[in-house]
Structure 1
């Protein structure tokens, strides 16, 4: 299945920014946006296949950690993982496409929310079946999609596209990770401008500019790619799992909506 461009989502802004306080209103929002993403396809609710972690109430609406882990049984593989924030101006957080023939996939990331919203994780299997888990996240009312950027935009050219990668595998904990199975955290410097933010001096809106595509390679093998939108936080972070397989490096390629491309490689330790 090929998802439509994220551009359609901005058309919902006037509807989605209205107060959504009841379960009925929340489901009405989902009913409005679902056809544009998944058409009329059936989506099965499954907390067993999909583990979605998100805070019940945010500490900072601009940087909200969420994590999704999914494992399929019966020899099935994952085609895509779509993350959605129902009430954000651009509801689709990202569409992750792991490498082929993968039966388990885990991803962590920081997002921003314009207000209280249901977060959804929808997994598509290789046979076209859809499974979903959801969680309500309550915010503090910052309106993070319109909050002024933290980055100094006059100096953005000095840092934009810079990346850092760290092995964050828990040491000595019973996490299931070994010397081969690892967890890494990628940090990417980018203002991820939403187009809803205002210049505090001129009071004019700052044009949108955000990461729209990112691909991670381990050696010559692609681990996953993701198409993203404005819900990804400023200076985004992604946490993902990988296995040491003898590849000497991990390479990240990214692009933004201005067509600027970024690429960085990081050395990996040997498999043991």
Structure 2
């Protein structure tokens, strides 16, 4: 998948602009799939991918989604595309790995406008695609249009601030060693969808969301994420990394206003 996320989103949005009758004639997935993956074959993942998502949400604005993927036949994982079929912007995020990894553990929080299938599509190093999916039922809050929690009058004081820490409790810490770690990155950003309304003026708030995020461990790039409005306000992501002698992670993010955010964050047992 060499297209930028903006191109994928534009193509998917164009297809979804068809008539209701057209959408009723075929499933939403069959409508959006050609815009994202063209006519490429997508295989069922079997045991290659595990997608962890709640059957029913507690809060539609922040839903934990986790993916675990592994290949063991000489190939590696090139990218993962996460999708929510029935959200206004179906592509949640595209995660591109930089180092030919054979295993992936990744978690992020998303928001859903309503009940939707969630899909994870893994691309391997030979260009093959594998998919798993899970239906997530919501309370019907319409979270993509829910008012932001962030005080937008004070946004300049906090936007783009980042925190990083190793995950040290619960199931997320299982299998951690001194070298192999799992960390959690928190970013302060309203991730405005363009569908939310100012509760005083009753005018729509312009969209402004993180669209790219790149993480380095010392001089070694780990991954890049291209994301859209389905990622929750104040994003949190968890990912595996290895201590490699560097004392810092470097994180660079951009948003759709063209603002660039950069943080150098300590890593390791004391981070």
TM-score normalised to the size of structure 1? 0.92
SS in 1 for 2:27: helix
Pairwise CA distance, 1:100 = 2.5
SS in 1 for 2:156: helix
Does the alignment pair 1:248 with 2:251? no
Q: Which residue of 2 aligns with 1:21?
A: none
Segments of structure 1 that go 5 or more residues without pairing to the other structure are 19-23
How many residues end up aligned between the 2 structures? 265
Instruction: Judge conservation of contact 1:182–1:241 (CA < 8 Å) in 2.
Output: yes
Q: Which residue of 2 aligns with 1:7?
A: 10
Segments of structure 2 that go 5 or more residues without pairing to the other structure are none
Cα distance in structure 2, aligned partners of 1:146 and 1:154: 19
Q: Which residue of 1 aligns with 2:148?
A: 149
Q: Which residue of 1 aligns with 2:186?
A: 187
Report matched runs for 1:175-214 at 5 Å. Answer: 175-214=174-213
Instruction: Judge conservation of contact 1:124–1:131 (CA < 8 Å) in 2.
Output: yes
CA distance 1:11–1:153, shift in 2 (3 Å): farther
Pairwise CA distance, 1:169 = 3.4
Pairwise CA distance, 1:218 = 0.2
Does the alignment pair 1:63 with 2:66? no
Report matched runs for 1:159-174 at 5 Å. Answer: 159-170=158-169
Instruction: Judge conservation of contact 1:169–1:182 (CA < 8 Å) in 2.
Output: no
CA distance 1:200–1:243, shift in 2 (3 Å): same
Deviates more, 1:165-174 or 1:200-209: 165-174
**After TM superposition, which residue ranges in structure 1, 4 or more long, deviate above 6 angstroms?**
24-27, 171-174
Report matched runs for 1:1-272 at 5 Å. Answer: 1-4=1-4, 5=6, 6-11=9-14, 28-170=27-169, 175-269=174-268
Cα distance in structure 2, aligned partners of 1:210 and 1:69: 26
RMSD: 2.2
Cα distance in structure 2, aligned partners of 1:59 and 1:171: 20
Cα distance in structure 1, aligned partners of 2:12 and 2:156: 28
Instruction: Judge conservation of contact 1:12–1:89 (CA < 8 Å) in 2.
Output: no
